[in-house]
A and B are shown apart, each in its own frame.
Chain A
Amino acid sequence: MARAVTANRKMINTAIAWAVGLLIFFPILWTILTSFKTEAQAIASPPIFLGFDWTLENYSIVQERSDYMRFLWNSVIIAGGSTLLGIIIAVPAAWSMAFVPSKRTKDILLWMLSTKMLPAVGVLYPIYLLFINLGLLDSRFGLVMVIMLINLPIIVWMLYTYFREIPGEILEAARMDGATLKEEILYVLTPMAVPGIASTVLLNFILAWNEAFWTLNLTAVDAAPLTAFIASYSSPEGLFFAKLSAASTMAIAPILILGWFSQKQLVRGLTFGAVK
């Protein structure tokens, strides 16, 4: 925005925006703060904001009960693996839809999105039986496949919208220079689409990380990610606000930190073709 703005106006904007931002962020902040309180302080009335005795006790109790690193590692593998696999499958598909469109391209795209509408609970039983027969229960591979399939339509669509914004002339020029299809995709298209691919990766990593139905129902020990970790803290006996907060903080911290560091990429690319 090139308009000249008075310092006064900017001050007001800043104040309002910060107030709103903090309000939206507050539930997360409160959870993080509570995780450092004792159980008694966590339910103190009136609530204590900062003036409590900071303690790490809750974290050590949670860690003692469940091996955090194992769950974390599974989350990383499942979210990372499914996103990576999804991208590998989606890039060629999105490429051909964007650059060699046919009459049916849009129908295919919309059909892909519609597969996301299958309600997961309705097909738990069939999928569970299928997983038993294929020996995929509690395996990371099985979960990577399922989560990849769930997110694939979104990945294809996002990539398709980015690719469409790349001018076709550049590709044609490359082709004239004798570039093969593979080279065209690898050296011409991909570099131009990096911001788009980056934000696609990020968004799908987040969606995969937070998927809480299949990851809970198809795992036991070996493949259980953080969503299963949190399922053992939802209501222990007695006072548990502080422990719940600690477990919650542990479950969301990695993705929160990742999201913050990469928010520029995420913001830049998250358009779904909404901007032309």
Chain B
Amino acid sequence: MYLKNALRAATALTVAATASAHAQSLTIATVNNGDMIRMQGYTDQFTEQTGIEVEWVTLEENVLRQRVTTDITTKGGQFDIMTIGMYETPIWGANGWLVPLTGLSDDYDVDDILPAMRNGLSHDGTLYAAPFYGESSMVMYRTDLMEAAGLEMPDAPTWEFIREAAAAMTDRDNDINGICLRGKAGWGEGGAFITVTGNSFGARWFDEDWKAQFDQPQWKEALSFFVDMMAESGPAGYATNGFNENLSLFQQGKCGMWIDATVAASFVTNPSDSTVADKVGFALAPNKDGVDRRANWLWAWALAIPAGTQQEAEAKQFIEWATSKAYIELVAANEGWANVPPGARTSLYETAEYQAVPFAQKTLDSINAADPTNPTVDPVPYVGIQFVAIPEFAGIATQVSQEFSAVYAGQQSVDEALAKAQAITTEEMEAAGY
């Protein structure tokens, strides 16, 4: 006990010496996305309005997950607000680890949040995290290359068309790849993409008894299709490409098509970052001809308050500010409508100025076309489109996607990878007691 007290005293000294500014400040853990970084720039205005100081802990996505998960499961209390996604929110909410976002002000207009986002961030009808921005996925393509190939992109293409167009646009001598897609290991990277691709071929992760389904023909078809198409028209080394790598390739004009998060639309059409800003068209994510599900996901980066924080009221105040209509207008006034955080509010899509933004309508259509409660052709026991909202999923899907990435890198065959995926998933589900 003496040691404990001595340590406590020493800590108290250190804390007293260093953290006098901590009295009225919120600690917010967040991800280093463009929209989040931008928000940090505007926090001064929040502090001015409310007198509440804000301290940011900005981390790369994987590090952030590791950090906030450790803290929430051990009730470490390091953060007053955490940036989490649609996967974590319902699970943590169900465990009672998050403060329910009820009693928000009338001004905030919680009913304005897009229904798809609100559902995805709720558990049993209670909202646990407020979406800062939301996304689905869609096809972004180069209008000039499409025209040169003599093809026309339909509003809702099929995988067959995508593959044909990709092959036609590919010009390896000039460093143009017909299609760029995520192959990077990780459940939120390549794992998410191959899962929605699976959905659009009629595959699913689990049957209604939680049995892994990688031994089913739909998975084999989906994975083989993906691998073959990327071999024909994809960039070299796509097995390590994630969102950032593909964004960079597309901005440099090295991709004919890119199927990825709808938020990317504002980056690829921004002339200061993108060399192809004025030549980008949009379409819904594809499906296999005849399959009634498209390869589009649903995701939101949202702000949540861990239960047990000392500054619940202040934290709520911040969340209301950051995810409000007023914040959207603030960004629009300073950076233009194309740069506001998208996909969170209905009213944004009713704003005339925003409707004029080229990708606005397709983004909304993609979001509306995603149904997390009904993600696959065959019935499933889970919620979530590109993920399965159970705690074990992140671990399983990361390992499964590593096996798939090994296929993309040419290190094993589709059959080997699927057999391993089946074994890993079965093993882990057993360990979890299903």
Contacts and interface: CB of A to CB of B under 8 A. Distances in A.
Interface of A: 43, 64-66, 124-125, 128-129, 131-132, 134-142, 216-217, 220-222, 224, 228, 231-240
A135 B273 contact: no
A240 B251 CA distance: 12
Contact of B251 (A128, A137, A231, A239): A239
A217 B40 CA distance: 22
A237 B10 contact: no
B148 interface: no
Given A125-B70, A231-B63, A238-B247, A139 B57 contact: no
Given A65-B37, A128-B70, A135-B8, A232 B59 contact: yes
Nearest to A132: B76
A205 B19 CA distance: 25
Contacts of B70: 124-125, 128, 217
B34 A140 contact: no
B372 to A, nearest CB: 25
Nearest to A129: B74
A131 B78 CA distance: 11
Interface string B23-55: 000010100111001001100000000000001
Q: Which 9 A-B pairs have the closest CB atoms?
A: A232-B58, A234-B60, A141-B14, A220-B78, A237-B34, A221-B55, A231-B63, A235-B244, A232-B32
B261 to A, nearest CB: 10
Contact of B58 (A65, A134, A216, A239): A65
A222 B66 contact: no
Contact of B4 (A134, A221, A232): A134
A172 B63 CA distance: 55
A138 B32 contact: no
B252 interface: yes
A237 B33 contact: yes
For chain B, what secondary structure do more than half of its interface residues adopt (helix, strand, loop), or is it mixed?
Answer: helix
A238 B34 contact: yes
Nearest to A140: B14
Contacts, number: 103
A141 B10 contact: yes
Contacts of A135: 7-8, 11
B7 A238 contact: no
B61 interface: yes
Contacts of A125: 70, 74
B188 to A, nearest CB: 12
A64 to B, nearest CB: 8
Interface in B345-390: none
Given A65-B58, A132-B75, A140-B14, 17 more contacts: A66-B56, A66-B58, A125-B74, A128-B74, A132-B74, A132-B76, A134-B4, A217-B67, A220-B29, A228-B59, A232-B32, A232-B59, A233-B60, A236-B33, A237-B33, A237-B34, A239-B251
A135 B247 CA distance: 42
A187 to B, nearest CB: 31
A131 B242 CA distance: 35
A239 B248 contact: yes
A96 B75 CA distance: 43
Contacts of A233: 32, 60
Given A237-B34, A237-B267, A239-B251, A232 B60 contact: yes
A236 B76 CA distance: 27
A245 B37 CA distance: 18
Contacts of B231: none
Contacts of B244: 235-238, 240
Contacts of B243: 237
Given A135-B11, A236-B32, A238-B248, A222 B18 contact: yes
A236 B37 CA distance: 9
Contacts of B267: 237-238
Interface string B112-125: 00000000000000
Given A136-B7, A217-B67, A239-B248, A231 B78 contact: no
